Amino acid sequence: MSSKLSREDLYTLEKYAEIRPEYRARVMQHKKNRRLPIGPNAALYFEDRLTMQYQIQEMLRIERIFEATGIQEELDAYNPLIPDGSNWKATFMMEYSDEDERRVQLARLVGIERQIWMQVADFSRVTPIADEDLEREDETKTSSVHFLRFELSPEMVEAVKKGAAISAGIDHPHYAYSVDPIPANVRDSLAADLD
């Protein structure tokens, strides 16, 4: 089965309205194993087929999209965020509740999306390919949201599947934190993303 979603995988608006409470509860439970805080103000939200199907279903519901072209546009937008079997894909968020503080910090944190890393056991750190869809920063500030892809070597994939520890961190001059190792529930969820 392809990891990418197609129209046949989606619920109609009527069906989704019926099952939404139970479906949403299942997705929220699943997402608990997909969030990795790094320090007090940053988190990686690892995406997969279920999180993207939920995102698409919610967009179709909110926008009342039921025509084939509109549905295909949503699939085209979100399918690239589903892991391909040799990588992890994540939404990276800088989380500041105070808008003024967020503005100040985003000006200080230019380039942070390239300073994030994941590490499998004793292998080299993997830094992400960031924002393949569009540029999210300029010389004066970065965005609070970035989309990241961490490409793993076949040896790293094999090690994770055999239970190797995973660590993660950020090495920005104004934001340096690490998680070593990441919690077991997140590690196990990420292992399931790999072929």
Q: Give the pLDDT score at 131.
A: 74
Task: Tell me yes or no: is domain 36-47+84-195 CATH 2.60.40.
Answer: yes
Q: Give the pLDDT score at 60.
A: 95
Coil, helix or strand at residue 120: strand
Measured between alpha carbons, how far is 16 from 10 in angstroms, rounded to an integer? 9
> Can you give the residue ranges of every domain in the chain?
1-31+49-82, 36-47+84-195
Query: Residue 2 — pLDDT band, cuts 50, 70, 90?
Result: low
Cα-based distances in Å from 43 to 5, 23, 75, 157, 169: 25, 24, 25, 23, 10
Coil, helix or strand at residue 22: helix
User: pLDDT (tens digit, 9 = 90+) per residue, 25-54?
Assistant: 999 999 999 999 999 999 999 999 999 999
User: pLDDT (tens digit, 9 = 90+) per residue, 128-183?
Assistant: 998 766 555 566 788 888 999 999 999 999 999 999 999 999 999 999 999 999 99
- pTM equals 0.90
Question: Which positions ≥6 away from 26 have C-beta within 8 Å?
Answer: none
